[in-house]
Structure 1
Amino acid sequence: MPEVEIVYSGSCPLCGGDVTASRLLSGMPCEAHAEFHKPDVEGVFRTLGLSPNPQQVRWARLFLHGVSFIMVGPPGVGKTQAGLAFSLHVLSRGRKPLVIEPPDLVEEVRARFGGLEVCPPSELPEGRFDLIFADEVDLGRETVRQRVLERLGEGGQLIISSPIPLGRKRWVKALNLHESPHVQERSALIVVESPTKARVISGFFGKASVGRVEGVPFYTVSSPFGLLRVMATGGHFYELDIDRETFGAKLGNGLTVYFRPTRSVIGALRRLSLETDEVYVATDPDAEGEKIAWDVRAVVTPFNPNVKRITYHEVTKRAITEAFSNPGDFDPNLLHAQLLRRVEDAWIGLPLSLEVQRAFGIKVLSAGRVQTPVLGWVIERFESNRRDRVELLSLTLENGFRLVFKAPRGTFQAVMESGWVEVAGVSEEVREVNPPPPHNTSSLLIEAAAFGIPSDEAMRLAQDLFERGFITYHRTDATTVSALGMHLAKEFLARKGMENLSKPRPWTSEGAHECIRPTRGMDAEEVGQEVEKGNLPPLSRRHLFLYGLIFNRFMASQMKAARVRYQDVKFVAGGTEVEVRLPIEVLERGFFEILPLKLSEFRFSPGRYRVAEFSKRVVGREPLYTEGDLVRLMRERGIGRPSTYALTIRKLRERGYVFRLGTGALVSTKLGKEVHSYLQERYSGLVSEERTKLLYQKMDEVERGEAKVGQVIEELRRELLGLQVKERNFST
């Protein structure tokens, strides 16, 4: 048994039963079919002594997998040869085929293939047949069609050849006949997750036609690589089957994980794969995308073993073309890391969620390794904010400068009584200011939150920008800039007359991904103009705003440092010292040409300044956390991932554990405090920040191939032995 085995329920290609990934990847059905022999495409044509052309091979795959279909193509492409080869193959297996030919060809075919039953449509024999091949015979008349169908045995196949497409005919749709046109060029199927991504990729190569197979849409377009069909799975189409074993997983001689299908795309994947020479799985280049890729590979391989993996970090024609020309390998380590996360979510999050639902009588409550510590941060800061109060003073001086600072209680009264603020010291300094690195997921969410964009909305907007080809992959901890990215920035700066400010920087960081950057040298204003003209995919104002944050930050990261003169001022107000640094002059603009610095109009010299206006509020010494703060803490403390930052915060809001004030600050609710307290009292070892960080480190080790997923899950099982949940017993 392999170290890790996936069991797919309802996915055996023959009986629809449970089947392991290892059998599917070997082209085999489930173990119930001990006498199964792999389809021999070449063997189908051996009786005729024929070496099949590529399209005949595709038709043979459809035939061998029991599909009823129409072979469409002009004379001479091999339709009749294929149909006769299929009929002889059925006959050789001791089953009954029937060949229906036009009257003028019946005797010729009978003479060549004496063992076959051949007739014109007007002289159909009685009986039931396992295969009926209608060779360019008009089945449009209902009486003829009905007589043919009456002779088709249960589970039998109907294969028709036609020189013209018939797919629009009502009777073809009624019979659910699949139309398979002759394709002379190479044929490939590209599988992605998102319908938007499928539409954009197909559009790179011309105007694509839209078809449907088993209710699932797909795009067809000619390209330099041949005929491409592009379809989307709609995301994950298998989910952990928590009703099997211990919430979907079992430890024994290795790890077994159980998955059940959740989307009706498996039939479409298999049907389209039969008609293509190669299948390219082009899902996202992270652990979630890799899990989808392995699922596609597993369900498709018995139907077409030529399955390849391609990855890319931007949805552009150049990137897709390059990936298509250089396919890579499926990554078992990424798969195992995703399996670990799924099992961990089920073994920790689900039992704890059931526990708090029972304890509080609310069905929508949840808990988890990351969710619970993050909730604890919000509660701790909220309590600290309420407990440790100070004065927030806003003093407008006689020169119009507004001094805002926190101070101990009583400071405001002292300032009011004196009426003055003293400038006790002034100094000036010229400093070099380096640009910030380009955005990764956490920094983008932090900046978006500063502009009032919630983290889940920011991730949705970024997902749209990525899938529509405007930015590189948006789930990344990296700040690395590729050579292509540096070149793009250099060209843009030159076009804007700022080539003298260009300073390419790679910003190298750990990880295989690149930073989040634009895919074209166009700022937000230029992109908006092209969108309005219809030259680029549609974007909303919110999309353009987020794109602007990404674009400006990236371009600034590729520019020279700035030199700024600062005035450092020490104020004394009511006995409290306040130090303020004021930028007063830009000596060399550098990256401030893209990210402008607001200069202070004020200059100070030592002395007293009259306070013209006073105001105060009593606030917490430490400010309440915002969503941006939580993202920063999750990244710094190592208990989250780019794909889960926004999801974690959204769950806290949706469960009613926290709510967001108009200022963006997060406040814990009574329910949030009670749930957190309940979990800490009973399961602190499971939901502590330290233990969660350790688990994420283990996930990283599995992803890098430095740890075995089965061993990590065994450690997790031992940790859970004390967890009392009625639904499952973790001791087995």
Structure 2
Amino acid sequence: MSDLVIVESPHKAKTVKRYLGSDYEVVASMGHLRDLPKSKLGVDIDHSFEPQYINIKDKESLIKEIKKKAKAADHVYLAGDPDREGEAISWHLAQLLGLDMNDKNRVAFNEITASGIKAGMENPRTIDLNLVNAQQARRILDRIVGYKLSPFLWRKIRRGLSAGRVQSVAVKMICDREEEIRAFKSTEYWSIDAKLHTKGSKKTFSAKLTTVDGEKVELADKEQTDAILARLENADYVVDKIKKSVHKKSPAAPFTTSTLQQEASRRLGFQGRRTMKAAQELYEGLDIKGMGATGLITYMRTDSLRISDEARAAAYNFIRDKYGDKYIPDTPKKYKSKGNAQDAHEAIRPTHPELTPDEVKESGVTNDQYKLYKLIWERFIASQMSNCIMDTVSVDILANGCMFKTTGYSVKFDGFTVLYEETKDNDDEKKNVLPPLEKGEKLRLKELKGNQHFTQPPARYTEASLVKAFEETGIGRPSTYVSTITTIISRSYIERDGKQLKPTALGETVNSLMSDHFGKLVDVGFTANMETNLDKIENGKKGWVKTLDEFYKDFDSELSVAEEAMDGKRVKVPDEETDQVCELCGKPMVIKIGRFGKFLACSGFPECTNTKRIVTETGADCPYCGKKVLLKKSKKGKKYYGCEDNPTCGFMTWDIPTEHKCPDCGSSLFQKGGKNGKLVCHKVGCGYEKDLSDEG
């Protein structure tokens, strides 16, 4: 006989089994085994919001297998992930298996390592019903909103639409930003910039005009700018004031879920879903050379910045061996979490700080796993290192009553920057390196220019900046950020434009209707307050039934008023115009959004019912049959290129079509291997290739 440990995934099961040994059997529940039914609301609103859970249909055989193993085991341990969702899964398992709710059978692993698993198994506890109730309250809230609002949207806009509590707020944030951009009126302004150098040196540095005769300068047009440029003709440029100081730059804190998603987006170009998939795999365990199945990072859903003393000591050992004692700070670096942070877990950090990214790479992990581990490892090690110390200098330069300012710096001690620096959205700003200067020194002017500028509208949200906004406003929690963004994109309310997120016509129509009739539901402050209430449930400071009751009274009232106000009315989603013409009737084709995304339809509907799928032409011809090569997407969303006549033709490639033609056969050439790769011809029997380096 042996003890049974139930975790959530097979990867985690494999790693935990390696540490626990033969006295334990470890199985995976594959996530939730019970949930609310899909076919109906599944919540008895009139009787304390009692949920009507059922076994998930395709999990029946798994439930039977787990029940059989639990019956044969001496003891059952529930080892779901250490968060609300994991606690709820453990509670559902206890219900299914008929376990005693007073039994200490719940174990949690903050990290899947020998010490992390040992700590969890040595400290079993009862299931935390406050955590379960917080998850249950969120699930029921979202179910009520989704199942009550969706039919309203079907009747007022079109069938197949759906609404979500947090998702609706996210859509509103993106739509509001789009309105700001449309309403923005650009204003002209000018600056005057000088390029100067010292006597005997040709290396220039930049300085910007700031004041004229002691007054702050604000140049609105070319006329004002030209007047000052005329005044500066033949002027002497003299160093008027030099201010030197020492600046200490501190390292960024270790990652939370939010900052990990933001930095992975900026630095690696990862979408949130890709980041969290790789992070989950790193947490659950990978086969590492000489170590076996090993969890490489701590739990990845956290908003805490706390670090254990053991982890800090391990980081110090690595820093001391690699860089020396001067890279260890005099006092330990400690970072303060936000006020609403849950401190149950540490920040995201490597479980084995001594295990470098290169060593992990040698074990044959995937590229995504390696890149994300490297990011997490470098961020954590750097967070425990000494500050970077910079000598900074600020210089005032006077020319005929016009003051120019410039600043520069030099690194006195690199500190943590020897390993890692956080990227910023405006990281393209270049630092000014200044030569040695003295007060009263006369400088030489190389160039003086008036530069025209225009104020810019606020930027659209990217996935990284939207996650940052979620965190700052208290919308959602670390575990919900990715699913929220994924949902609103899959519903065609929002679409990607490069890295930017912009609303579709459908999204703006739904948002307008929601804003008009459900103002409280899409209000950022109201939604953030609901998150606070869920936290209070988790902490045992508020009842989950009372929270739901307070919400439902207002929501039900809003819904009744909206139904009455919209009685007999429907809202049309505006069509997106195109330059394509219907080949059947000659009228313009428009873009519509259906249940399965965008498609082309004739504007003459219902007289003309012609529809077509939207294709993206590349300008290249198929090397097999001569027809058009189109941009396509695989089932997993990966871009590739294929003939428009598929499956008859069969041509497809990952190589990028170009405008170049093969000098041997005249077929379109494709770019292989990025900008340093080569141009290749895919015509059967041709074989032409040309290195891009040949183009210089």
Tell me the TM-score normalized by structure 1.
0.63
Amino acid at match of 2:466: L
> Which of 465, 468, 474 is the equivalent residue of 1:629?
465
Corresponding residue of 2:641: none
> Which of 503, 508, 513 is the equivalent residue of 2:345?
513
> Which of 146, 159, 164 is the equivalent residue of 1:349?
146
What are the superposed Cα offsets for residues 185-241 of structure 1, whole Å, 9 maximum, x if unpaired?
A: xx1111111111112222335xxxxxxxxxxxxxxx51xxx2x11111111121222
Three-state SS of the structure 1 residue aligned to 2:27 is: strand
Specify whether residues 476 and 252 from structure 1 end up closer, same or farther in structure 2 by C-alpha distance, changes over 3 A only: same
Specify whether residues 277 and 602 from structure 1 end up closer, same or farther in structure 2 by C-alpha distance, changes over 3 A only: same
Q: CA deviation at 1:701?
A: 0.6
Q: Which moved more, 1:469-478 or 1:386-395?
A: 386-395
What are the superposed Cα offsets for residues 89-133 of structure 1, whole Å, 9 maximum, x if unpaired?
A: xxxxxxxxxxxxxxxxxxxxxxxxxxxxxxxxxxxxxxxxxxxxx
What are the superposed Cα offsets for residues 128-154 of structure 1, whole Å, 9 maximum, x if unpaired?
A: xxxxxxxxxxxxxxxxxxxxxxxxxxx
C-alpha distance in structure 2 between counterparts of 1:378 and 1:442, whole Å: 18
Corresponding residue of 2:262: 446
Q: CA deviation at 1:708?
A: 0.6
Q: State whether residues 446 and 629 of structure 1, in contact with CA within 8 Å, keep that contact through their aligned partners in structure 2.
A: yes
Q: State whether residues 393 and 404 of structure 1, in contact with CA within 8 Å, keep that contact through their aligned partners in structure 2.
A: no
Corresponding residue of 2:689: none
Amino acid at match of 2:518: Y
> Which of 377, 380, 403 is the equivalent residue of 2:176?
380
Corresponding residue of 1:310: 107
Q: State whether residues 104 and 125 of structure 2, in contact with CA within 8 Å, keep that contact through their aligned partners in structure 1.
A: no
Matches within 5 A, 1:161-200: 183=1, 187-200=2-15
C-alpha distance in structure 2 between counterparts of 1:321 and 1:195, whole Å: 19
Corresponding residue of 1:639: 475
> Which of 306, 318, 322 is the equivalent residue of 1:492?
318
Three-state SS of the structure 1 residue aligned to 2:520 is: helix
Q: State whether residues 207 and 405 of structure 2, in contact with CA within 8 Å, keep that contact through their aligned partners in structure 1.
A: no
Matches within 5 A, 1:247-266: 247-251=41-45, 254-262=48-56, 263-264=59-60, 265-266=62-63
What are the superposed Cα offsets for residues 508-535 of structure 1, whole Å, 9 maximum, x if unpaired?
A: 5452111000011246533334414xxx
Q: CA deviation at 1:610?
A: 5.0
Q: State whether residues 189 and 219 of structure 2, in contact with CA within 8 Å, keep that contact through their aligned partners in structure 1.
A: no
> Which of 484, 487, 495 is the equivalent residue of 1:651?
487
Specify whether residues 377 and 328 from structure 1 end up closer, same or farther in structure 2 by C-alpha distance, changes over 3 A only: same
Q: CA deviation at 1:291?
A: 0.5
Q: CA deviation at 1:325?
A: 2.1
C-alpha distance in structure 1 between counterparts of 2:417 and 2:225, whole Å: 37
Q: Which moved more, 1:395-404 or 1:589-598?
A: 395-404
Query: Can you give the 5+ residue segments of structure 2 that lack an aligned partner in the other structure?
Result: 197-202, 210-216, 286-294, 565-696
Matches within 5 A, 1:159-308: 183=1, 187-204=2-19, 222=22, 226=23, 228-241=24-37, 243=39, 247-251=41-45, 254-262=48-56, 263-264=59-60, 265-301=62-98, 308=105
Q: CA deviation at 1:476?
A: 0.5
> Which of 418, 433, 452 is the equivalent residue of 1:593?
418
Q: CA deviation at 1:340?
A: 0.5
Q: Which moved more, 1:233-242 or 1:496-505?
A: 496-505
- Number of residue pairs the alignment of both structures matches: 511
Corresponding residue of 2:433: 602
Q: Which moved more, 1:194-203 or 1:717-726?
A: 717-726
Corresponding residue of 1:114: none
C-alpha distance in structure 2 between counterparts of 1:316 and 1:564, whole Å: 39
Matches within 5 A, 1:549-560: 549-560=375-386
Specify whether residues 402 and 656 from structure 1 end up closer, same or farther in structure 2 by C-alpha distance, changes over 3 A only: farther
> Which of 651, 655, 677 is the equivalent residue of 2:512?
677
Three-state SS of the structure 2 residue aligned to 1:687 is: coil
Corresponding residue of 2:500: 665
Q: CA deviation at 1:428?
A: 3.3
Three-state SS of the structure 2 residue aligned to 1:685 is: coil
> Which of 519, 523, 526 is the equivalent residue of 2:358?
526
Amino acid at match of 1:431: H
C-alpha distance in structure 1 between counterparts of 2:537 and 2:134, whole Å: 6
Q: CA deviation at 1:652?
A: 2.4
Corresponding residue of 1:547: 373
C-alpha distance in structure 2 between counterparts of 1:643 and 1:566, whole Å: 42
Three-state SS of the structure 2 residue aligned to 1:643 is: coil
1:428 equivalent in alignment to 2:254? no
What are the superposed Cα offsets for residues 682-705 of structure 1, whole Å, 9 maximum, x if unpaired?
A: 111222112111211110110000
What are the superposed Cα offsets for residues 483-513 of structure 1, whole Å, 9 maximum, x if unpaired?
A: 2211221121123143332243343545211
> Which of 681, 703, 706 is the equivalent residue of 2:541?
706
Specify whether residues 368 and 259 from structure 1 end up closer, same or farther in structure 2 by C-alpha distance, changes over 3 A only: same
Corresponding residue of 1:467: 284
Q: State whether residues 571 and 579 of structure 1, in contact with CA within 8 Å, keep that contact through their aligned partners in structure 2.
A: yes
Three-state SS of the structure 2 residue aligned to 1:308 is: coil
Q: State whether residues 524 and 547 of structure 1, in contact with CA within 8 Å, keep that contact through their aligned partners in structure 2.
A: no
C-alpha distance in structure 1 between counterparts of 2:98 and 2:73, whole Å: 12
Q: CA deviation at 1:377?
A: 2.1
Q: CA deviation at 1:654?
A: 2.0
Specify whether residues 272 and 529 from structure 1 end up closer, same or farther in structure 2 by C-alpha distance, changes over 3 A only: same
Three-state SS of the structure 2 residue aligned to 1:697 is: helix
Q: CA deviation at 1:706?
A: 0.1
Specify whether residues 609 and 686 from structure 1 end up closer, same or farther in structure 2 by C-alpha distance, changes over 3 A only: farther
Three-state SS of the structure 1 residue aligned to 2:116 is: helix
Q: State whether residues 301 and 307 of structure 1, in contact with CA within 8 Å, keep that contact through their aligned partners in structure 2.
A: no
C-alpha distance in structure 2 between counterparts of 1:642 and 1:240, whole Å: 23
Specify whether residues 240 and 587 from structure 1 end up closer, same or farther in structure 2 by C-alpha distance, changes over 3 A only: same
Three-state SS of the structure 2 residue aligned to 1:191 is: strand
Query: Can you give the 5+ residue segments of structure 1 that lack an aligned partner in the other structure?
Result: 1-182, 206-220, 533-538
What's the % identity of the aligned pairs?
A: 28
Q: State whether residues 442 and 631 of structure 1, in contact with CA within 8 Å, keep that contact through their aligned partners in structure 2.
A: yes
Q: State whether residues 438 and 557 of structure 1, in contact with CA within 8 Å, keep that contact through their aligned partners in structure 2.
A: yes
Specify whether residues 358 and 617 from structure 1 end up closer, same or farther in structure 2 by C-alpha distance, changes over 3 A only: farther
Q: State whether residues 327 and 415 of structure 2, in contact with CA within 8 Å, keep that contact through their aligned partners in structure 1.
A: yes
Amino acid at match of 1:553: R
Q: State whether residues 369 and 688 of structure 1, in contact with CA within 8 Å, keep that contact through their aligned partners in structure 2.
A: no
Matches within 5 A, 1:77-156: none
C-alpha distance in structure 1 between counterparts of 2:354 and 2:189, whole Å: 43
Q: CA deviation at 1:608?
A: 7.9
Q: CA deviation at 1:424?
A: 9.2
C-alpha distance in structure 1 between counterparts of 2:190 and 2:273, whole Å: 34
Q: State whether residues 311 and 328 of structure 1, in contact with CA within 8 Å, keep that contact through their aligned partners in structure 2.
A: no
Q: State whether residues 104 and 126 of structure 2, in contact with CA within 8 Å, keep that contact through their aligned partners in structure 1.
A: no
Q: State whether residues 523 and 548 of structure 1, in contact with CA within 8 Å, keep that contact through their aligned partners in structure 2.
A: no
C-alpha distance in structure 2 between counterparts of 1:632 and 1:344, whole Å: 24
Q: State whether residues 340 and 709 of structure 1, in contact with CA within 8 Å, keep that contact through their aligned partners in structure 2.
A: yes
Specify whether residues 426 and 723 from structure 1 end up closer, same or farther in structure 2 by C-alpha distance, changes over 3 A only: same
Three-state SS of the structure 2 residue aligned to 1:684 is: coil
- Alignment RMSD, CA only? 3.8
More helix by share: 1
C-alpha distance in structure 2 between counterparts of 1:715 and 1:572, whole Å: 66
C-alpha distance in structure 2 between counterparts of 1:657 and 1:358, whole Å: 18
What are the superposed Cα offsets for residues 359-389 of structure 1, whole Å, 9 maximum, x if unpaired?
A: 33252x3322322222222222223234232
Q: State whether residues 169 and 521 of structure 2, in contact with CA within 8 Å, keep that contact through their aligned partners in structure 1.
A: no
Amino acid at match of 1:428: K
Corresponding residue of 2:591: none
Three-state SS of the structure 2 residue aligned to 1:309 is: coil
C-alpha distance in structure 2 between counterparts of 1:703 and 1:412, whole Å: 61
Three-state SS of the structure 2 residue aligned to 1:531 is: coil
1:693 equivalent in alignment to 2:487? no
